[in-house]
Amino acid sequence: MLIEAKNQKMAVPPEDKAVVVSVNNISKKFCRDLKRSLLYGVQDIATEVTGGTRKSDTLRAKEFWALKDVSFQLRRGDAVGLVGSNGAGKSTLLRIISGLINPDTGSITVRGRVAPLIALGAGFNPILTGRENIYANMSILGLTTKEIDSKFDEVVEFAEISDAIDAPVQTYSSGMAARLGFACAVHIEPEILLVDEVLSVGDIKFKMKCHHRLAKLRENGTAFILVSHNSHSVLNVCNSAIYLKKGELITQGETEDVIRHYEEDLCLSGTETAAGPLFLPEKPASESMGLDILSVSFKDEEENILQFPLCGETAYFCVECKSYEYIDDANLGIKITALAGESEQVLYMTSASENEYLKISPGKTEIQMQMPHLGLVPGTYNARIYVRSGVRSFDIVRSFRFTVKASKNTSHCLFYQPRSWKVINK
């Protein structure tokens, strides 16, 4: 399939079995005003009917570039992560690849059957039963009735909706419709699979099944593009990544490098800095609950403040306090969540859970959680810190943002595993 903008005359690239999607300088614009958008649509149709030439490479009033001069290639068996904030152009790019919309400039060549998982269940007719929708949906995706017959039981088993297969889809829960949509798409065994945030729906069991199926498809040569705000999912699934920002391709390459660039941009664009320590104003003694947190920082073994702790390296998590009394059973708690993606909890640690009750004297002290190897993978995080004694709460810091950078080539996992290597002769 070759999708080409009207004003571009680009030849189909030479046959290359390894390349299944070739995107060449594509751009797509939209209009923010509905009435003006309808007017532009009528004008464009009239121009084409009369044989005129559209000025697709220039913006008209109220228009903006959803994509601008984006180029990349997808090869057989590749798993490419597509990252970027909302409005970056990720879904627009997938819709162009799937053939739902055409680019205004540039061209795209697609070789093979495409299964777009852009919105699970979006193509279902709510009045029809699950059985009828399976046949309708998989027919649209290119299968014959005979082929659907041979896969029908497998689809129903994967979706786990056998009891409701003859009920109208409008009676399904969103999770049931999602399972059925995914099952239809992956069982056509496509050459190209487009996945847009759909793996965020469903329960844990279904997500595990989806990831297992994706891995199996990739082993069989299926190439796919995964759009996700969850950086850990992209790191786990994809061997390369593309970072889009306001419609432009910022960088592409190794997944870890692209995710690090994306998360650093994401963090630095916020209202709070993600580098260096957090200093808090000192409270008057009359407003204190007995102990106040003055600062939060990372330090190295020589007590130097770290602007960015490094994955796999020594790091001390330091909480400076001012106490107005003696506390012999203080409990420091730290809850860390990932800023990117779904802000999922990454770590929750307390000194009390490790039977480490801290003794604090009046005056200024610093509580250190010493980590010989920082286990957090490169990314941006938010920490919530509190100091308690039993049920009594002294002080709390609700937001300490920090960025972990890489000091070496860390593996594509959810944590850094300290390790050593040894050969033992038997």
Same fold, 2-112+191-268 and 278-406: no
Separation of alpha carbons 81 and 237, rounded Å: 8
Domain boundaries, the chain: 2-112+191-268, 278-406
For 23-73, write each residue's pLDDT tens digit. Answer: 999 999 888 888 888 887 787 787 777 776 677 778 888 888 889 999 999
Q: What is the structure's pLDDT at 10?
A: 38
Residue 317 falls in which region: left (phi positive, over 0), alpha (psi -120 to 50) or beta: beta
In the predicted structure, residue 271 carries a pLDDT above the cut 60: no
In the predicted structure, residue 208 carries a pLDDT above the cut 90: no
Mean pLDDT of the chain: 83
CATH 3.40.50.720 for domain 278-406, yes or no, is no
In the predicted structure, residue 76 carries a pLDDT above the cut 70: yes
Separation of alpha carbons 203 and 176, rounded Å: 11
Give the model's confidence band at 1: pLDDT under 50 very low, under 70 low, under 90 confident, else very high.
low
For 358-400, write each residue's pLDDT tens digit. Answer: 999 999 999 999 999 898 877 788 999 999 998 899 999 999 9
Superfamily the domain 2-112+191-268 falls into: P-loop containing nucleotide triphosphate hydrolases (3.40.50.300)
Q: What is the structure's pLDDT at 82?
A: 92
Q: Decide if 381 contacts 375 (C-beta within 8 A).
A: no
Q: What is the pTM of this model?
A: 0.65
Give the model's confidence band at 343: pLDDT under 50 very low, under 70 low, under 90 confident, else very high.
low
Q: Decide if 24 contacts 70 (C-beta within 8 A).
A: no
Tally of CA atoms within 13 A in the half-sphere of 347 that contains its CB? 17
Residues paired with residue 404 on neighbouring β-strands, in sequence order: 379
In the predicted structure, residue 199 carries a pLDDT above the cut 50: yes
Q: Is 399 exposed, middle or buried (0-12, 13-18, 19+ CB in 10 A)?
A: exposed
In the block, tokens 């996992």 appear at 413
Q: What is the structure's pLDDT at 321?
A: 95
For 395-416, write each residue's pLDDT tens digit. Answer: 999 999 888 887 665 555 566 7
